[in-house]
Chain A
Amino acid sequence: MRKILVIANREYWAMVATKAFLITLVLMPVMMGGSIVIQESLRKRVNLDDRRMVVLDGTGVLFKSLAAAAESRNQKAIFDPASGAQIASRYRLEQGPAGPVTDQERLDLSVRIRRGELFGFLEIPAVVFTVPAAGGGPNARFYAQNMVFSEERAWLQQTLNDAVRRHRLVQAHIDPQAVARASTWVPIDGLGLFAKSSGGRPKPPKPANEMLTLFLPMGIMMLMFMVIMLAALPMLETVMEERSLRIAEVLLGSVSPSQLMAGKLLGCVAGSLTVVVVYGLGGLGLAQYYGVLGMVPLGILPWFLVYQALAVLMFSSIFMAVGACVNDRKETQGLLIPIMLLIIFPMFVWLSVVQQPLGSFATWISLVPPGTAMLMVLRMAASPDIPLWQPAAGALILLGATGLCVFAAGRIFRIAILAQGQLPKFKQLLRWVTSG
């Protein structure tokens, strides 16, 4: 046991006391959070130039409402309520010629848009107030260079519909104010379930933050992913070095292959715990800072640690076997791709799982290794009502799969680490695993 600890100690420090580890430790969350920060900062850095838009109003009555709404928006909605700074462009609406619109007019306006004199133009058909029997109304048209995700189009759509609805109500002799009051929206807050408090009293659930409900489980799953990558991947490099520099031969002159492997895996798990502690404390600090600490499902921490240890053991042993077989980095590439796909597989299904964490798809997919670790913690973070047998069964299944992986990798490792020559073929690997 002492020799195993000596090896584990070396592996641990070889992993955590390197610049690469420290840089990756910092870079991983930075890169993942970076895209959010960049998008957020880009969102704030909008073009504040005035948006000049021509309205070709076939009805002859709607332009006034639209222009008034634009003016009202320009007075208030484009300024940050806290700082008073302008955060959106002013909309300048210009009335186009009345009467039916010809293609020549459309072309002329398009030319003006291309020249940068206009942002776009809106074409409102004369029959816009008519409601066809089938329920569908006549469409207005907005022409611009970027109209798909255009905020201008969305604003025009909302404002035009408000104006048309008001006009239709008036035509039908209904008070628009009364309809507006009657149509007041009733939001539904999403809440979890009541639980029993320690005194046996009903304990109400905490109100949920919808964004957090979606992204907090994802964050926890990503933490598991980062732990696996940071702890297991260095094993590949270490074993490759030991093989290519014949260090393994010296080590095996002092310890058995099983002791060597056990020490390495132990070191890996210890390294992964360091990552968990660093990221975990960092995450809790952030949660505390943003006042959402109460929403962090701390109850899943023991499960997280169990799953993290098993997943790290599983993938470390696989990387160890790969490192023992390859002669150089080029040979590593072909073997790494399928393993990396196995690791990132949960990311392909996370949204379905987090939307229905208690559904049968989520349940079964989270019980199938090697995605069990990431998907089970994702589900547990998404819903507190996961039956206890499921994480327990998942842990047992993962334990079995990890045992198999460690056993198979151990057999490959002890033969391949001293072997020379070509990369072993799949058949040969299988023979090593089955016959030792």
Chain B
Amino acid sequence: MNHAIELEQVVKRFGSCLAVDHLDLVVPEGVIYGFIGPNGSGKTTTLRMILRILYPDSGRITVLGCDGGSAANDHVGYLPEERGLYRKMRVRELLRFFAQLKGMRRPGPEIDGWLERFDLARWANEKVETLSKGMAQKVQFIAAIVARPRLLVLDEPFTGLDPVNMDVLRGAMQSAHQGGTTVIFSTHDMDVAERLCDTIFMIYHGKKVLDGTLAAIQAQFGEDTIRIRTADADSPLSDLPGVLHVNDQRHYKELRVSRDADPRAILQQLLGRTTVEHFELARPSLHDIFVRIAGAEAGSAEEAANA
């Protein structure tokens, strides 16, 4: 399989801050690759280096076979975390501008097709400043995808979208993937990452801490999680034998247990305290893995992002 991206021992500093620390990463072509990590861990810096917006202090980055300059950029679509649209330009004119920057000569039919698909056709001649946040985000997504890139880099694409628009964007992303585009996206939403990504990469303090399929990552942690649903929302469970940590979401709880803990003994004790509606021995969720690695600080950041 060819590689869309290869990073070898990539280092990037900003003054005294080491943003990316000897990072190695290989993204095969044709996959959906999720970048996760707490705020300030180096995700956006890594994405910007892949896009040649920033250059590494050392190490090598190869994008679509090109390892220098910005030769590959015409084949790379980019949706930044903070939306970047000229407010005074009209939607179609703006999309034509971005498409032309990617080397398209007659992007008109492609633009109209995407505007139709995203229900934005009647806004085509309106100025960007008149669009709602969700509409502007869809326009930004079209700008990233209109030139049919071989690699699509999306930085927090679903932030601030309502469920309907989230589905529209997710559908577009998946159809681009089915058309052969490699998709990389960063997210704080672990559920989205679990559902959409073939491979997940986690960066923490500039270092790679996870890289692989969800199943492979979960396998590293073993079946050390018990998911339960109880009738009583407030029964304390942290004192159960072998329970290391409780992710308490009132009726739904996730217990992390030690490797030698006996699930049957835990179930028996539980039944003595409350009515158990659901009991499942499972591998840890991506959320749980994320929190285990990044700690409470990152966990609260993610919860804030999901709120």
A contact residues vs B (CB 8 Å cutoff): 2-3, 6-7, 10, 14, 18, 241-242, 245-256, 418
By the criterion CB–CB under 8 Å, are B101 and A3 in contact?
yes
**Closest 5 pairs between A and B when the two form their complex, measured CB to CB:** A247-B84, A253-B78, A254-B101, A246-B82, A250-B84
Find out whether the CB atom of B87 lies under 8 angstroms from the CB atom of A250.
Answer: no
Residue of B86, B101, B140 touching A255 (CB-CB under 8 A)? B101
A252 CA / B101 CA spacing, docked (Å): 10
B88 touches A253 (CB 8 A): no
Asked whether, in the complex, the Cβ of B86 is within 8 Å of the Cβ of A249, the reply is no
The answer, among A2, A3, A249, for a CB contact under 8 Å with B80, is A249
B54 at the interface (CB under 8 A from A): yes
Which chain A residues border B80 with CB–CB below 8 Å?
246, 249-250, 253
Q: Which residues of B contact A256 (CB under 8 A)?
A: 52, 69-70
Is A251 a contact partner of B85 (Cβ separation < 8 A)?
no
Cβ-defined contact, A6 with B101, below 8 A: yes
Q: How far is the CA of A252 from the CA of B100 in the complex (A)?
A: 14
- Contacts A247-B84, A247-B85: A10 and B53 contacting too (C-beta < 8 A)? no
Q: Return 18 A-B CB contacts under 8 Å, by A number.
A: A6-B100, A18-B88, A241-B87, A245-B82, A245-B87, A246-B83, A248-B84, A249-B48, A249-B82, A250-B80, A251-B101, A252-B53, A253-B53, A253-B76, A254-B73, A255-B70, A255-B73, A418-B53
Q: Which residues of A contact B73 (CB under 8 A)?
A: 253-255
**B97 engages A245 (CB within 8 Å):** no
Which residues of A sit under 8 angstroms from B53, Cβ to Cβ?
249, 252-253, 418
**A254 and B98 within 8 A (CB):** yes
Please give 20 more A-B residue pairs, beta carbons under 8 A apart, in addition to A254-B74, A254-B98, A254-B101: A3-B101, A6-B97, A6-B100, A18-B88, A245-B82, A245-B84, A245-B85, A245-B86, A246-B82, A246-B84, A250-B80, A250-B98, A250-B140, A252-B51, A252-B52, A252-B53, A253-B53, A253-B76, A255-B70, A256-B52
Classify chain B: how many residues form its interface, as a range: 20 to 34
Q: Which residue of B lies closest to A248 (CB)?
A: B84
> Hey, which chain A residues are within 8 Å of B98, CB to CB?
250, 254
Residue of B nearest to A3 (CB): B101
Among B54, B84, B103, B143, residue most surrounded by chain A Cβ atoms (within 10 Å):
B84
How far in angstroms is the closest Cβ of chain B from A219? 33
Which of A7, A242, A252, A254 is the one whose CB lies under 8 Å from B102? Answer: A254
> Separation in Å of the A249 CB from the closest CB of chain B?
5
Give bound CA distance, A245 to B129, whole Å: 12
Separation of A268 and B260 alpha carbons in the complex (Å): 72
State A18–B48 Cα separation when bound (angstroms): 33
- Find out whether the CB atom of B143 lies under 8 angstroms from the CB atom of A250: yes
Q: How far is the CB of A229 from chain B (nearest CB, A)?
A: 20
Instruction: Give the interface of B toward A (CB within 8 A).
Output: 48, 51-54, 69-70, 73-74, 76, 78, 80, 82-89, 97-98, 100-103, 140, 143, 153
Q: How far is the CB of A202 from chain B (nearest CB, A)?
A: 59
Question: Are B70 and A14 in contact, with the CB atoms below 8 A?
Answer: no
Cα–Cα, bound, A10→B87 (Å)? 13
Contacts of A3 in B (CB 8 A): 100-101, 103
Report whether A14 and B86 are in contact in the complex, using a CB–CB cutoff of 8 Å: yes
- In Å, the complex CA distance between A249 and B50 comes to 13
Q: Collect the chain B residues with CB atoms within 8 Å of residue A6's CB.
A: 97, 100-101
Known: A245-B84, A247-B85, A255-B70. A7 touches B101 (CB 8 A): yes
A253 CB contacts on chain B under 8 angstroms: 51-53, 73, 76, 78, 80, 153
When chains A and B are docked, how far (Å) is the Cα of A254 from the Cα of B78?
9
Task: Give the distance in Å from the alpha carbon of A2 to the alpha carbon of B99 in the complex.
Answer: 12
Of listed A7, A246, A251, A253, residue having the most chain B CB within 10 A: A253
Across-interface contacts of A250 in B (CB, < 8 A): 78, 80, 84, 98, 140, 143
Minimum CB distance partner of A250 in chain B: B84
CA of A7 to CA of B101, assembled, Å: 8
Which B residues are in CB contact (< 8 Å) with A10?
A: 97
A3 to B102, CA, bound (A): 8
Q: Chain B residues near A418: list those with CB within 8 A.
A: 48, 53-54
CB neighbours (8 Å) of B78 from chain A are: 249-250, 253-254
Residue of B nearest to A13 (CB): B93
A115 → B minimal CB distance (Å): 63
A315–chain B nearest beta-carbon distance, Å: 23
Find the residue from A3, A18, A254, A256 having the highest chain B CB count within 10 A: A254
Give the residues in chain A near B48, CB-CB below 8 Å.
249, 418
Minimal beta-carbon separation of A264 from chain B (angstroms): 13
- Bound-state Cα–Cα, A2 to B16, Å: 39
**A246 to B51 CA separation, bound complex (whole angstroms):** 15
Bound: A241/B86 CA distance, A: 8
Contacts of B101 in A (CB 8 A): 3, 6-7, 251, 254-255
- The distance in angstroms between the C-alpha atoms of A249 and B153, with both chains bound, is 13
- Give the nearest-CB partner of A10 in chain B: B97
Closest Cβ of chain B to A404, distance in Å, is: 24
